Chain A
Amino acid sequence: MAKQPAAVIGVGQTHHRAKREDVSMPGLLREAIDRALEDAQLTLEEIDAIVVGKAPDLFEGVMMPELFLADSIGAAGKPLLRVHTAGSVGGSTAIVAASLVQAGVHKKVLTVAYEKQSESNAMWALSVPIPFNMPVHAGAGGYFAPHVRSYIRRSEAPTHVGAIVAAKDRQNALKNPYAHLKNPDTTVESVLASQMLWDPIRYDETCPSSDGACALVIVSEDEAARSANPAWIHGTVMRSEATSAAERDQVNPQASRDAAAALWKQAGITSPIDEIDMAEIYVPFSWFEPMWLESLGFADANGGGWRLTESGATAMGGRLPVNCSGGVLSSNPIGASGMLRFGEAALQVRGAAGEHQVDGARKALGHAYGGGSQFFAMWVVGSEKPSS
Chain B
Amino acid sequence: MRDVAVVGFAQRQMAEFDGSPTCVELLVPLFAECYEQTGWTRRDVGFWCSGSSDYLAGRSFSFVSAVDAIGVIPPVNESHVEMDLAWAMYEAWLKIQTGEVDTALVYAFGKSSAGVLRRTLSLQLDPYTMTPLWPDTVSLAGLQARAGIDAGLWDERAMAEVANRSLTDAEKNEYAIRKGGSSVEELLARPVYADPLRKHDCAPVTDGAAALVLAAGDKAREVCERPAWIRSLTHFVDPMSMGTRDLTRAPSAQRAGAGADLDGVEVAELHAPFSHQELILRTELGLGDDVRINPSGGALASNPMFSAGGIRVGEAAKRIWSGEASKALGHATSGPALQQNLVCVLASEGTDD
**A99 contacts chain B at the CB level, 8 A cutoff:** yes
**A255 contacts chain B at the CB level, 8 A cutoff:** yes
Shortest distance from the beta carbon of A146 to any chain B beta carbon, whole Å: 18
Identify B236's interface contact among A64, A77, A240, A372, CB under 8 A. A77
CB proximity to A under 8 Å, residues B48-87: 48, 53-55, 58-61, 63-65, 67-68, 72-83, 87
Known contacts A76-B239, A79-B234: A238-B78 contact under CB 8 Å: yes
Q: Do B237 and A85 touch (CB < 8 A)?
A: no
**A81 contacts chain B at the CB level, 8 A cutoff:** yes
Q: Do A56 and B238 touch (CB < 8 A)?
A: no
Known contacts A2-B99, A68-B124: A96-B91 contact under CB 8 Å: yes
Known contacts A63-B121, A67-B237, A100-B94: A240-B75 contact under CB 8 Å: yes
Q: Do B78 and A239 touch (CB < 8 A)?
A: yes
**A78 contacts chain B at the CB level, 8 A cutoff:** yes
CB proximity to B under 8 Å, residues A21-60: 24-25, 56-60
Most A C-beta atoms less than 10 A away, residue of B94, B236, B239, B340: B94
Report A-chain residues with C-beta under 8 Å of the C-beta of B61. Answer: 56, 86, 126, 371
**Stretch of A102-110, A197-205, A309-317, A356-364 lying at the B interface:** A102-110
Bits for A68-106, please: 1 = Cβ < 8 Å to B, else 0.
101100011111111111100000100010011011110
**A228 contacts chain B at the CB level, 8 A cutoff:** no
Q: How far is the CA of A25 from the CA of B67 in the complex (A)?
A: 31
Shortest distance from the beta carbon of A93 to any chain B beta carbon, whole Å: 10
Bits for B85-98, please: 1 = Cβ < 8 Å to A, else 0.
00100110011011
Q: How far is the CA of A4 from the CA of B100 in the complex (A)?
A: 11
Known contacts A57-B55, A63-B124, A77-B252: A243-B65 contact under CB 8 Å: yes
Shortest distance from the beta carbon of A130 to any chain B beta carbon, whole Å: 7
Q: Do B239 and A1 touch (CB < 8 A)?
A: no
Most B C-beta atoms less than 10 A away, residue of A56, A92, A374: A56
Report A-chain residues with C-beta under 8 Å of the C-beta of B41. Answer: none
**B240 contacts chain A at the CB level, 8 A cutoff:** yes
Known contacts A254-B74, A371-B61: A81-B91 contact under CB 8 Å: yes
Report A-chain residues with C-beta under 8 Å of the C-beta of B340. Answer: 67, 70, 80
**Stretch of B125-133, B144-152, B204-212 lying at the A interface:** B125-133
Q: How far is the CA of A2 from the CA of B99 in the complex (A)?
A: 6
Categorize the interface residue count of chain B. 35 or more
**B139 contacts chain A at the CB level, 8 A cutoff:** no
Report B-chain residues with C-beta under 8 Å of the C-beta of A58. Answer: 54-55, 59-60
**A241 contacts chain B at the CB level, 8 A cutoff:** yes
**B219 contacts chain A at the CB level, 8 A cutoff:** no
Shortest distance from the beta carbon of A297 to any chain B beta carbon, whole Å: 16
Q: Do B123 and A86 touch (CB < 8 A)?
A: no
Categorize the interface residue count of chain A. 35 or more
Identify B334's interface contact among A61, A67, A125, CB under 8 A. A67
Q: How far is the CA of A37 from the CA of B262 in the complex (A)?
A: 35
Q: How far is the CA of A60 from the CA of B124 in the complex (A)?
A: 11
Q: Do B94 and A105 touch (CB < 8 A)?
A: yes
Shortest distance from the beta carbon of A135 to any chain B beta carbon, whole Å: 13
**B37 contacts chain A at the CB level, 8 A cutoff:** no
Known contacts A86-B61, A371-B61: A61-B78 contact under CB 8 Å: no
Q: How far is the CA of A71 from the CA of B340 in the complex (A)?
A: 12
Report A-chain residues with C-beta under 8 Å of the C-beta of B78. Answer: 238-240, 375
Q: Do A76 and B98 touch (CB < 8 A)?
A: no
**B335 contacts chain A at the CB level, 8 A cutoff:** yes
Q: How far is the CA of A59 from the CA of B55 in the complex (A)?
A: 11
**A258 contacts chain B at the CB level, 8 A cutoff:** yes
Q: Do A64 and B83 touch (CB < 8 A)?
A: yes
Q: How far is the CA of A243 from the CA of B24 in the complex (A)?
A: 14
Q: How far is the CA of A75 from the CA of B335 in the complex (A)?
A: 14
**A265 contacts chain B at the CB level, 8 A cutoff:** no
Q: How far is the CA of A2 from the CA of B72 in the complex (A)?
A: 27
Give B1's nearest chain A residue, CB to CB. A104
Known contacts A63-B121, A63-B124: A81-B64 contact under CB 8 Å: no
Q: What 7 additional pairs, Cβ within 8 angstroms, besides A64-B83, A128-B59? A: A24-B128, A58-B54, A60-B127, A63-B55, A76-B237, A82-B83, A86-B61
A residues engaging B (CB < 8 A)?
Answer: 1-4, 24-25, 56-65, 67-68, 70-71, 75-86, 92, 96, 99-100, 102-105, 125-126, 128, 130, 237-243, 245, 253-255, 258-259, 371-372, 374-375
B residues engaging A (CB < 8 A)?
Answer: 1-2, 48, 53-55, 58-61, 63-65, 67-68, 72-83, 87, 90-91, 94-95, 97-100, 120-121, 123-128, 130-131, 234-241, 251-252, 255, 334-336, 339-340
Q: Give 26 pairs: A residue, B residue, CB < 8 Å, sorted on A.
A: A56-B60, A57-B123, A61-B127, A64-B82, A67-B335, A68-B126, A70-B238, A75-B237, A77-B252, A80-B235, A81-B81, A84-B63, A84-B81, A86-B64, A105-B97, A238-B79, A239-B77, A240-B67, A242-B73, A245-B73, A253-B75, A255-B75, A371-B61, A371-B64, A374-B64, A374-B67
Closest A-B pairs by Cβ, 10 of them: A103-B97, A1-B99, A255-B75, A56-B60, A71-B239, A240-B78, A63-B123, A241-B75, A63-B55, A84-B82
